[in-house]
Structures are given as structure tokens and as C-alpha cells.
Structure 1
């Protein structure tokens, strides 16, 4: 099975919604996402249309998806302008569907997010991962993220702050 990674379009809002609901139904969702299936499921179509439009056309955010050759959407990652650091992108909404994990999909998604961020002039990617989410921590470490030593406390517990430096087009670190 081959996988294509691409940025979403505004017309993808139905698929964006379906993939988000699938991610929120995952057993680790309570320590991985700041939302629930019930909460997201109550959002009107306009919410999803706006979400897709914002992540497809602005320089402030971008959502990337992994699509199997069968047409099934099997993964996603979003990069937002960091709220505190203007030279950083905040990685959120990372998900790869069960049955597709371990095949390098997350690496391709994170690399697409890094390339887009580099094109926006950003110097690093930042993410927060729950201290009990060992699987995600291992994936992020493998993809070049390192712990900063900072923890953040959110409604469902403590999270490690991790960063990934972005290289320039010639591979040099900024």
C-alpha cells in the first residue's frame, strides 16, 4: 500500500471532520487531544469548513494528511503559528490510524510539516506530549524532536515540551 501526503484543501472539510472524529475515538485520545468525540461531533458544518479553509490557505497554519492508495485518510498533523514564539511552529493534532502505525507515515507527515514551516521562515517546531504517552514520545524523538526540560500542565496532566530544529534548504541548521 502506498501513502500520499499532502496539504488539505478547503473542500476537504468533510474528510477533515471524519478523520478528527476517528482520532478522538482512539483509546489514547484522552491524553493526546484537548477535545472529545462528543464535543467535536456537536460542531456545525461551518466550524469544519472554517477549520479546513484556515489550514489550507493561510500562512498561519497548515494541515497535512496521509491518504492511502485506497482513498482512506489514515493520518494527519497540523502546524499553527506558535502563540509565544514568532519563529516557531506549534505541532498539534498528530494522529495515525491504528493498523497504519509503524509504517513511517508519521515521519512523512512531520517532514511535510517541517518543510512547510521552513518555507514560512520558521526556525523550529514545538510540540507538547503527555508524560504518560510513551509511544508518541518515542515517535517524536525518532523524528528529531528533543525534550526541552520544560513541562506544561494542562487539564489532563503534565506534558513534555519538545522541539525540532529546522534546517535550511541546503540542510544546514539555522
Structure 2
């Protein structure tokens, strides 16, 4: 499949909203996202505008949202990367020593699965992480639901390895997210 990978632009909030809502309608959304379609669909335009600006190429530089774009302009998938500073609190687990990035919001439309879109999105996310001069990122991490075997298999194929860190999801004694990471290659 012919596609390009790029960072979103701040004026593309409507496309960013549409893709996020599509992701939240996916059959495994309950395992993949800490959000629901019902909550997201009623958010005001200002929410989507701010969210899109924050991950855009002209945003603050601590978040980047990448999209896989078809030649006709349709967005086929996305992954966002957050810079996490050492010692900072995180939704999942505090950031250990060393700077890192955190991949979130990963989604590829069903018709684009198996096309290489996920590989290209992760390549862009990891390359961006390694390209940062300040902070110098030492690892890229992500969390995935312990029952999301499909995503875990993809992340392992892409070079991510489980770290052994498990985090209970809010409000559940049984549901957990597991951390995966890829370390900066030795120079």
C-alpha cells in the first residue's frame, strides 16, 4: 500500500478527531485506549483543536502525532509520542532515571492492517525519539493491556521487549497494562 508518514498540522483537528473516533469504535478499543467513544464524541471542537495543536509539527515539541496518509489524503493510522522527563509522574508509572519517550494512541484502520503502516509509524516515532538533542532519549516505552495479544505481538515484532512492569488499571483489581520498551542502540 502506498502511504506516507508525517507529523500532523495544527489545522487538521477535524481529521484527527475523525481518526480518534474511528479508533474508539474498534472492537478492541476497550483494551487499547483509556477513553471511550461515548466520552470523546461529545467533546467540544476546542478540545480537538488544542489536542491537535499539541501534537503538531508546530506544537511545543514534547508531543508528536504521526499519521499514515494514503495518496488521496485519507489517514490510515496514527501513533503519538510523548517526551517524559526523569522523575516526572506519569499516568502509568513514574519515569525512572534517564529521559524517555512514550508511544500512545496507536491505531491502524482495519483496511490498512498488514500494509506496513504500523511499521512505518513506529519507525517514525522511534527515529523522532532518537533525534531529540534535549532531552537525549535513552528508551522508548509503551504500555499495552495484558489481554491485548494482537498488539503485544506487533510490538515484539517491532523490537519492543516487555520490562516486567505491570500497572493496574484504575478501578480494576484484575486488569493490567504491561510495559514494553526499546533501548537506544549503542553508538
Q: TM-score with structure 2 length normalisation?
A: 0.86
* Structure 1 contact 114–166 (Cα < 8 Å) conserved: no
Q: 1:109 and 2:121 equivalent?
A: yes
Distance 2:71 2:6 in 1: 13
Task: Report the counterpart of residue 164 of structure 1 in structure 2.
Answer: 182
Secondary structure at the counterpart of residue 21 of structure 1: helix
Tell me which stretches of 4 or more aligned residues in structure 1 moved more than 3 Å: none
Secondary structure at the counterpart of residue 137 of structure 2: coil
* Structure 1 contact 151–161 (Cα < 8 Å) conserved: yes
Which structure 2 residues correspond to residues 94-133 of structure 1 after superposition, within 5 A?
Answer: 94-120=106-132, 121-133=136-148
Distance 2:31 2:4 in 1: 28
Which structure 2 residues correspond to residues 14-163 of structure 1 after superposition, within 5 A?
Answer: 14-56=14-56, 57-82=59-84, 83=90, 84-85=95-96, 87-120=99-132, 121-155=136-170, 157-163=175-181
What stretches of structure 2 of length at least 5 have no aligned partner? 85-89
Q: How far 1:149 moved relative to its partner?
A: 1.0
Distance 1:122 1:8 in 2: 22
Distance 1:47 1:159 in 2: 26
Q: CA RMSD in A?
A: 1.3
State the Cα deviation string for residues 96-128 of structure 1 (Å, max 9, x = none). Answer: 000111121111001101111112221111101
State the Cα deviation string for residues 56-98 of structure 1 (Å, max 9, x = none). Answer: 1222110000011122111000011223245110110000000
Count of residue correspondences: 169
